[in-house]
Chains A and B, each alone.
Chain A
């Protein structure tokens, strides 16, 4: 069994990235991070990959739950996971409101 702290750190990173992806899957936050879409016809290069981001985001949150379960007794793992979700959601919201460009790192898009 891997070191529990390593698993928990992984779980925290997974919730952060998961929420970042879920946020990027929303038009308004995508625009905050990547700037407004260029005017003109919508092409594959300019649409927001909403579906993919949402699926990936949900998957990352699930991975995080699995990591929590690997680290602790299930009753405790669920609590750790729920609280990590709360903390990460606030962290992503705060990043969006102060340093939105940081989230480009999570999903680089062609300018």
Chain B
């Protein structure tokens, strides 16, 4: 089919890179934003703009909050058809309580899972999930979207297409093909070392785009490779769901054997029992970690089989001091506080798995590495964007001659994916600041603004790209750069006006979550304006507008 291995690799790289590049661009960009998802949450929810807190007292703060919780109406509505008889009004059998925090969270994520009486699947669980203010135990109002961790972050791995996990499958397939694109890219590249530092910015757009594509692809190759790979490892359970499908019986058995070995009960006893002081258990866990020379911040507290004689409490460490998602969990009998089990040191396989997932999920405390991850993600974006530009530059003149719409379509889609995505993001942040907090479904409105802005960017890109059919640069690139810059500045101004947290104040107070988002938005605006200026220089404004006759001539070749 192909004359050489290199040519077949080039075919693979070009076409898979083009089609999946649109997906990967979204994955890379929102992945970069997700590095600072908690900080974006602070920006989006002014109520939560206070310093990160340690895990609050379970007995005084968390327990009363858990006892007040009930599943949300929309979660209950999903039970329709899964229960024999009517859906209960209240849920009283609590399977588990969990509270989770990190060193970047002022609010604690709390959830409660309830057994569903008469459910068709005996394991059916309905959840109540809240963000809780650890200072007073108040839960934050529902309907307010934590834009960073509840929208940008899932967008990164699922495109927010939740129907049958479709988005997760698309992203997974793209990550797999990205590994292939990296390998084929290395095979195609004739001069990896000789052109390692090469960026000829004064040559043709085609040449400099390819230089930039190679540069950003090669220098960040370890990053690209490891993040695509570890992303697949994290979702291995979805891509190979053996343990909950073919091997369901075996999985249950293994859980029971594990329960017997660890002494942690797998089932409820059916006999009620009170809960002893969890704070005392936490103190004991911290004493044990300290004895091993480990940092003792609590990351997760869970109570299993709440209210039952078989209930047990698990306390996990927040693994801020290393990459691996460690826990060093310590488990206690809930009714007495007696120590049941201390997790043994991890096996080699577990260590590798935890390093790989921890590397990607980054719960560690290391601000430099966080920013370097953002840099890696943005280098990936540049790599994909310049790949699009190269694809179009290489073909647009031939296509113009042949009257083929191919490069014109690709260019419009590239504009939409690259600059349109920035416009959608900044529009969402502006909407977040301008919409009233009293709006009951404010989060849904913000999502609507995001997708609408992106759809408008698509229309604009297609409406303005006639120039590509003439073998020239689409003005949509430049115009959308202006829109994105405008949106970013508007978001910073709106934040200052609606909350009073302008840069003068946040910088003086050293409140970096909000100051950092504002500064990044301004950096985005500056970058977009610079790009617009350069694009303007490339295509002189004085160029005569193409007349219909010229266009017909061009398309007839």
Contact = CB atoms under 8 A, between A and B. Distances in A.
A57 B292 CA distance: 40
A22 B372 CA distance: 22
B232 interface: no
Given A75-B323, A82-B223, A86-B223, A96 B379 contact: no
A75 B194 CA distance: 31
B369 A79 contact: yes
A83 B323 contact: no
Contacts of A89: 196-197, 215, 219
A85 interface: yes
A87 interface: yes
Interface residues of B, number: 28
A92 interface: yes
A89 B251 CA distance: 48
Interface string A21-38: 011001011000000000
A21 to B, nearest CB: 11
B220 A86 contact: yes
Contacts of B368: 8, 80
Interface string B206-223: 000000000110011011
A42 B316 CA distance: 68
Given A79-B359, A90-B215, A26 B372 contact: no
Contact of A76 (B194, B219, B223, B369): B369
Contacts of B364: 76
B323 A86 contact: no
Contact of A93 (B197, B222, B323, B366): B197
Interface in B346-402: 355, 359, 364, 366, 368-369, 372-373, 375-376, 379
A33 to B, nearest CB: 11
Contacts of A26: 194, 197
A41 to B, nearest CB: 26
Nearest to A23: B197
A90 B373 contact: no
Chain A residues touching B, range: 20 to 34
A60 interface: no
B494 interface: no
A2 to B, nearest CB: 15
Point out which of A26, A76, A82 has the most chain B C-beta atoms below 10 A from its C-beta.
Answer: A76
A43 interface: no
A79 B373 CA distance: 9
Nearest to B208: A97
Contact of B222 (A29, A80, A82): A82
A49 to B, nearest CB: 17
Nearest to B322: A73
Contacts of B198: 28, 93, 96
Given A83-B223, A90-B219, A92-B197, A76 B379 contact: no
Contacts of B379: 86, 90
Point out which of A94, A97, A98 has the most chain B C-beta atoms below 10 A from its C-beta.
Answer: A97
A85 B219 contact: yes
Contacts of A83: 223, 369, 372-373, 375-376
B201 interface: yes
B222 to A, nearest CB: 5
A90 B223 contact: no
Point out which of A19, A75, A85, A92 has the most chain B C-beta atoms below 10 A from its C-beta.
Answer: A75
10 contacts: A26-B197, A79-B323, A82-B223, A83-B372, A84-B372, A89-B219, A92-B197, A93-B196, A97-B199, A97-B200
Interface of A: 8, 19, 22-23, 26, 28-29, 72-73, 75-76, 79-80, 82-87, 89-90, 92-94, 96-98
The 7 A-B pairs of least Cβ separation, nearest first, read: A83-B372, A89-B219, A97-B199, A75-B323, A86-B220, A93-B197, A23-B197
